[in-house]
Amino acid sequence: MRFAWAIAVGFLILGLIVGAFSLSHPVKAVLGQWLLERAFAAGGTDPWSGADMRPVARLSIERLKVALIVMDRASGKGMAWGPGVVAGTDLPGRPGLSVIAGHRDSHMAFLGKVRTGDVVKITGVNGQETKYRVYGAMVVDSSRWSPHVDREAQSALYMLTCWPLDGQKTTRQRLAVMAEII
């Protein structure tokens, strides 16, 4: 009887550990946005001591009731806290091409509901607002694709996340939602 009790307690502890790990990503996503929101309101300061990213913008889509703080970089670890700007692209709201990427199972899950014509509002830490209109979406192979935008002729916003949206494994496919400045 004692042995059965010990095994039951062991499985209970194991289940709690597995459950805690499975909740860490969603909890981190919510906590991260709260901390990033505070740092954004303070003018783009470090969200916490030792953070290697800073908030640079708020991305919002009124129709979908989406409002996210965007970080200055889209690193694998950083994207657990929120979406970020892809290296080599411009900050959102500035002239040129801005690419924002995030995880499909948290912050960027809304991309599956975005429609042509939706307005994406970008608010910088300085309060400046820039609006973009969604004009299309496509699934691309991230190992061979790069956006084709004349950096000097227009400003554009691309939002990326892994594809398929309900997938469980990492793939090279990305959903790219494209918007142009209005």
Q: What is the pLDDT of residue 139?
A: 92
- Based on the structure, what is the number of domains in the chain? 1
107-120 in b/e form (b: 16+ CB < 10 A) is bbebbeebeeebeb
Print the domain residue range for 145: 2-181
Q: What is the pLDDT of residue 95?
A: 83
The rounded distance, in Å, linking the Cα atoms of 99 and 138 is: 14
Cα–Cα distances (Å) from 127 to 42, 44, 157, 159, in that order, read: 11, 11, 18, 21
Q: What is the pLDDT of residue 33?
A: 82
Q: What is the pLDDT of residue 126?
A: 93
Q: What is the pLDDT of residue 30?
A: 77
Residuewise pLDDT in 10s, the chain (182 residues): 676 666 666 656 655 555 555 445 567 677 878 888 999 999 988 888 888 889 999 999 999 999 999 999 887 777 778 899 998 888 888 888 899 999 888 888 999 999 999 999 999 999 999 999 999 999 998 888 777 666 555 689 999 998 987 877 788 889 999 999 99
- Looking at residue 170, which CATH number applies to its domain? 2.40.260.10
Extended strands (E) in 79-155 = 84-85, 97-101, 119-124, 129-141
Count other Cβ atoms within 10 Å, centred on residue 88.
8
Extended strands (E) in 8-166 = 55-61, 66-71, 84-85, 97-101, 119-124, 129-141, 156-162
Nearest to 93 by CA among 130, 134, 119, 43: 130
Q: What is the pLDDT of residue 39?
A: 92
